[in-house]
Each structure stands twice: as structure tokens, then as C-alpha cells.
Amino acid sequence: MSNIAVERRGRIVSLFGVQYFKLCVGLSFGFVVVSVGLLLWRLFPDMYGKEVIPLHYNIHYGVDWTGVWWQIFVYPAAGALLCVVNAVVALLLAKREPMLARVVLVSTVVLTGFLFLSTIFVVLMNIVYG
């Protein structure tokens, strides 16, 4: 291997070795797993087979987004996609801009945290309206 390839490989391995990367990716996927578990535990038995369930609540209009039962998994699916894409982007950025890679990882944790809160509110809303 050339020196450039060894250096590039070393940077990627060092990013995986950093506790920061493991912590951010672990928290992000943790939010996604807990969101799916919460939906399966609290809503799935009651919502399966219903034609229409509320998926979003607006303080001005009330329930403004409804859908079929499987659409309750939109928020966790978006979080999982966000985790994978941002982890790949962070790996690509680690070669040139390690600080920007860290910003991407932190933003992933924050955004998946907000999606987790959205999932909690969907669960609470469906318990009330269900």
C-alpha cells in the first residue's frame, strides 16, 4: 500500500476508534431502536388493521396528518436513514475535515432525538384519540 492509502486508512480507523464517534452513532441508533420499541409496545397491537389513525397534531388545526397503521413507523425510518447517511458522510469528511465530521455526528444525535420526541407525541396522541 502507498503512504497515502495507509494515511487515509489510519484516519478512518482513528475515527472509528474515537469514543466520540461510537457515542454519537450509538445514541442515534439507540433513539431509533427505542422509538420502534415504543411504537410496537404501545400502539401496534391497537392500531393494526385500523383504516385511519392520527399521525400529526397541529395546535392550530388539531389532527392534520392521518394515515394507515404502518405509517406510524415513518419517524423511526427517517431516523435510521439519517443515522446511516450521516455516519457515511462523517466517515468521508474525516479525511479532510475532522471537525466538520464531528458536527455532522452531533447534528445526527440532535435530529434523531427530535424524531424520538415526535414518536413519543404520536404515541401519546394515539392513546388519547384511540
8 A C-beta contact, residue 88 and residue 6? no
* Residue pLDDT, tens place only, 88-130: 999 888 878 888 888 999 999 999 999 999 999 988 888 876 6
Q: How many CA atoms lie within 13 A of 65 on its CB side?
A: 10
* Residue pLDDT, tens place only, 16-69: 557 888 888 999 999 999 999 999 998 877 777 778 888 888 888 888 888 888
Quickly count: other Cβ atoms within 10 Å of residue 126's Cβ. 19
C-alpha cell at 90: 462523517
Please give the pLDDT value at position 27.
Answer: 94
8 A C-beta contact, residue 28 and residue 107? no
8 A C-beta contact, residue 112 and residue 28? yes
Please give the pLDDT value at position 50.
Answer: 76
Please give the pLDDT value at position 94.
Answer: 81
